Amino acid sequence: MKKNIVLFVLFILPIVAYLFFASGVNSFTKLPVITPKVANLGDWKSLKGEKVNLDNKITILGFSGTEILKNRGNLFNLNEKIYQRYHAFKDLQFVMVCPLGTEKDIENIMDAFDDFTDVSQWHFVFTTPEEIQSYYKKLNLESQLDANVGTSNVFIIDKQRNLRGRKDQKEYREGYNTFHPSELSNEMLDDFKIILYEYRAALKKNHNATKKL
């Protein structure tokens, strides 16, 4: 019996501890609100001439900038690491805010994606650089748009239009850099799973409440 206990302490317990901590402390907490109630997208139109709404959707929000064709690798990383894994989730959308004049570039990129991806949850809305800067400032973020009114960061917006991230000073995170696939596979995926868990837990709670009624 003592031998079994010693073997458990020496071999099994460290493995259990490793698996627990490897899953990330942040996975066991609620993802904080960085900016509450971000503004909706107004009357900006998509490639199909449709209005895109942030209400009642989990949104991955990005700002492509005028150099979208040059930086298309960032979109590819996001598509590979996050979009393809979760795009079938009906309450999720990927929205990129783009400067007017880049419509043809976006069409070319989406045509390339369409060969290996269902692109139905990708949405691109277009407006002036001035409107993009004004909207971005309302997000009250530490990071800024570059000279091409774009950023490699994308942001998680919940169904109530709250921008979510990490507020702890040691690991503060308001967005996720699409230039780095590892950041999407680790930090962003970890945080995104928290958002999904929140809504699945809420749906389960509402379902149980309805059954009781």
Q: Cα(170)–Cα(172) distance, rounded to whole angstroms?
A: 6
166-180 confidence digits (pLDDT tens): 998 888 999 999 999
User: Does the structure show a pLDDT above 90 at 139?
Assistant: yes
User: Does the structure show a pLDDT above 70 at 123?
Assistant: yes
Mean pLDDT of the chain: 87
Residue 64's closest CA among 82, 76, 52?
Answer: 76
- Assign 42 a pLDDT band (cuts: 50, 70, 90): confident
DSSP per-residue string spanning 121-145: GEEEEEE-HHHHHHHHHTT--SS--
Tokens read off for 74: 């960032």
Name residue, tokens 């020496």. 10
Q: Please give the class, per CATH, of domain 31-212.
A: alpha beta
141-169 confidence digits (pLDDT tens): 999 999 999 999 999 999 999 999 999 88
User: Does the structure show a pLDDT above 60 at 79?
Assistant: yes
177-200 confidence digits (pLDDT tens): 999 999 999 999 999 999 999 988
The ranges assigned to domains in the chain are 31-212
Distances (CA, A) of 140 to 79, 100, 143, 144, 207: 26, 24, 9, 10, 36
For strands 150-157 and 58-64, give the pairing. Answer: antiparallel
